[in-house]
Amino acid sequence: MAQKKASKNGGLYDKLTAYGDTEFSKYLRTVFLKSMGYTDDALERPIIGIANTFSAYNSCHATVPTLVEAIKRGVMLAGGLPFEFPVISLHESFSYPTSMYLRNLMSIDTEEMIRAQPMDAVVLIGGCDKTVPALLMGAASAGTPAILEVTGPMLTGSYQGQRVGACTDCRNFWGKFRAGEIQEEQLPEITDQLGPTPGTCMVMGTASTMALMTEALGVMLPGGGTIPAVQSQRLRHAEQTGTQAVAMAGSGLTLDKIITPEAVENAIRVLLAIGGSTNGLIHITAMAGRLGIEVSLDRVDQLARETPVIVDLKPSGEHYMQELHEAGGFATIMRILAPLLDLEQKTVTGKSLRQHLDTATEWPQTVVRPLDNPLSPEGGLSVLRGNLAPGGAVIKQSAASDALRTHTGRAIVFESVEDLAARIDDPDLDVNKDDILVMRNAGPIGAPGMPEAGYLPIPKKLAQAGVKDMVRISDARMSGTAFGSIVLHVTPEAAIGGPLSLIETGDIITLDIPGRSLNVELSDETLKERANIRDHKPRRTAPSRGYAKLFDESILQADKGCDFDFLVKK
Ligand code: FES
């Protein structure tokens, strides 16, 4: 078989260092390449970059070195030459103040390294929550053919005969600990079991959501969204991904040809049908924005009304990612959701979603429900509007309590994440189970970085009295693994003067999920009066240098995907 050669303008002699003498640039590059032992034959092959996101600070990416080896094998089997290179890696628990603060930095790193280095196609290795959107945002802006592989979900553990996993159960156990139902001595054994293997959280958190949305977008080889991190099938998938990257080299199949407006809508449908993370909405908005595609919250809500939740996974349902994989993974979701999807959308293989679905095997399963017997008749997320959130707010309604879907209560206001931490467990806090907990100044600018602090804890004295859920409202985000009647992403955020900044303890708020509204019982005049007398001093000093300054000056609100304004394609 004839070996595929790099096109004249591609391969290692693309993107030459600017010495002012092209031939000298090529000659010098050859010297350094040969210093690594490459033959002239090797240097003529299509070059496949592999964005390596291994980091000792990222447990969800512990398997990346073995994935890189498998991808390289696939590249070489197809006659390409792999070049791995590092990009920033982000883990949820190892990113201060929050991984969201750094997502755009990772996307800039990815974009610029793809732009700067010679490669005919690139394999992106994502996994932990922010890594997948950051990589896709960067690759979309860079405009080089790209394919994504995820690390895959963890397997589950077992505690006292109960199946457990990260991180819905992490939150369940923590809630029980706060309520005094489990003791501190039990925590080491519990933490031994919650993350028993490498991989990403194995519930429908942000990582699983983004993996399935990526498959829906067509940017991953079929089946890759659900294969557990530690199964050999993951390595075979990675090898095939490397091989596919060689086929994509020089093909012109860049992400703008795959991530079309219709593909974005498919991904949003999938987000809704899987009961996916609210973060998925922010990320798809940012990814689409890199290609000039606008995601409207009103359209999302319209799709949510027509799209039932069909995947029975925690936190909305009962199962874990392993069972979804055993049930056929994304192909099963796509088969059932087919009437609501545009299956003619092209994928990284050049084939359509429909062509892939036609070759996927079908067998009996119970994890993905039929459309006429869904977990919830409407999509996992709802968009709320009202005088408290004129720019919109989001609730994961599939994880909210039935009794609180329509609720009026007295606001108990916390000024910030720090204020919440300081007062929530105060025995003297005047709060009861029908109150609505409100936290502000935790939005994109306020915190900064919009931390996943929207899962406000139930005040300890109420938790100990058996209260499991309350309405909670903030301009923060929430982990996809969390659950409860929690309103998030209130826009505009308090730090830029949104109505959330004007609420006082004792105000009456009404949440109406079926009516899609979020209102405070205050007239426009009262809100205006409060705005006039409000202390306009910013809560924190504006940063004067570095990334913090760039972030502060450029970050967009949640409804625009929290991208930097100068990165969005106009
Ligand atoms: Fe990485 Fe959950 S912390 S996927």
CA dist 380 and 441 (Å) reads 26
Indicate if 148 and 162 belong to the same structural domain. Answer: no
Compute, in angstroms, the gap from residue 277 CA to the centroid of ligand 1.
12
Please list every protein residue whose CB sits less than 6 Å from any atom of ligand 1.
Answer: 60, 91-92, 128-129, 166, 200-201, 205, 207
Q: What average pLDDT does this structure show over 253-269?
A: 98
Whether residue 510 sits in one domain with residue 495: yes
pLDDT computed for residue 1 by the predictor: 42
Sheet holding 146-150, edge to edge: 81-86, 47-52, 121-126, 146-150
Q: Which ligand 1 atom is the nearest neighbour of the CA of 167?
A: 2
Report which ligand 1 atom has the smallest distance to the Cα of 479: 2
482 shares a domain with 349: no
What is the rounded average pLDDT for all residues in the chain?
Answer: 95
- Domain end call among 194, 210, 244: 194
Q: Confidence band (pLDDT; 50, 70, 90) for 4?
A: low
pLDDT computed for residue 343 by the predictor:
98
Indicate which atom in ligand 1 lies nearest the CA of residue 200.
4
Q: What pLDDT sits at residue 8?
A: 46
Q: What is the pLDDT of residue 141?
A: 98
Tally the domains of the chain: 3
Is residue 9's pLDDT more than 60? no
User: Going by C-beta distance under 8 Å and a sequence separation of 6 or more, which residues neighbour residue 377?
Assistant: 308
Whether omega for the bond prior to residue 201 falls within 30 degrees of 0, making it cis, is: no
Q: Which residue has the higher pLDDT, 9 or 235?
A: 235
The two three-digit tokens of residue 221, written as one number: 């080889």
pTM confidence score: 0.95
In a domain, 557, yes or no: no
Q: What is the mean pLDDT of residues 154-178?
A: 93
Report CA(438)–ligand 1 centroid distance (Å): 26
- Pocket probe for ligand 1: among 54, 90, 128, the residue whose CB has the most ligand atoms within 8 Å is 128
Name the residue with the closest Cα to ligand 1, atom 3. Answer: 92
H or E segment at 239? helix 232-248
> Is the domain of 393 the same as that of 531?
yes
Average pLDDT over residues 479-489: 90
Same domain? For 163 and 129 the reply is no
Among 53, 91, 212, residue to substitute to test ligand 1 (most atoms within 8 Å of Cβ): 91
* Pocket perturbation via mutation, ligand 1, pick of 55, 61, 92, 479 by most ligand atoms within 8 A of CB: 92
6: pLDDT strictly greater than 80: no
What DSSP string describes 4-28? P---TTSGGGSS---SS-HHHHHHH
In angstroms, the CA 311 to CA 274 distance is 5
CA distance 121 to 248: 6
Closest ligand 1 atom to 59 CA: 1
Query: For residue 18, is it within any domain?
Result: no
Q: How confident is the model at residue 5, as a pLDDT?
A: 58
Confidence of residue 241 (pLDDT cuts 50, 70, 90): very high
Ligand 1: which atom is nearest the Cα of residue 127?
4
Q: Which of 306, 329, 359 is the last residue of a domain?
A: 359
For residue 169, how far is its CA from the centre of ligand 1 (angstroms)? 13
| pLDDT tens, residue by residue, 523-568 | 999 999 999 988 767 778 889 999 999 999 999 999 999 999 999 9
Confirm whether 176 is domain-assigned: yes
Residue 295 lies in a domain: yes
Region 177-192: what's the mean pLDDT?
A: 94
Residues 180 and 309 placed together within one structural domain of the fold: no
pLDDT-above-70 percentage for the chain:
98
Q: Does 279 fall in a domain?
A: yes
Same domain membership, residue 234 and residue 163: no
pLDDT reported for residue 535: 73
H or E element that contains 461: helix 460-464
CA nearest neighbour of 279 among 449, 144, 448: 449
Query: What would the pLDDT profile of 435-452 be if each residue is shown by its tens digit?
Result: 999 999 999 999 899 999
Domain encompassing residue 497: 381-543
- Residue 444 phi/psi, 5-degree rounding, is -55, -40
58 and 101 both lie in a single domain = yes
Q: Which atom of ligand 1 lies nearest, measured to the CA of 93?
A: 3
Residue in 54, 100, 103, 129 to alter for ligand 1 test, most ligand atoms within 8 A of Cβ: 129
With vertex at residue 131, the alpha carbon angle to CA 165 and CA 215, rounded to the nearest 5 degrees, is 80
Are 259 and 319 members of one domain? yes
> Is 489 in contact with 278 (CB distance < 8 Å)?
yes
User: Residue 272: inside a domain, yes or no?
Assistant: yes
CATH code at 495?
3.50.30.80
One domain, residues 182 and 134: no
Same domain for 312 and 437, yes or no, is: no
Asked if residue 76 is part of any domain, the answer here is yes
Residues 150 and 163 in one domain: no
Q: Is residue 439 part of a domain?
A: yes
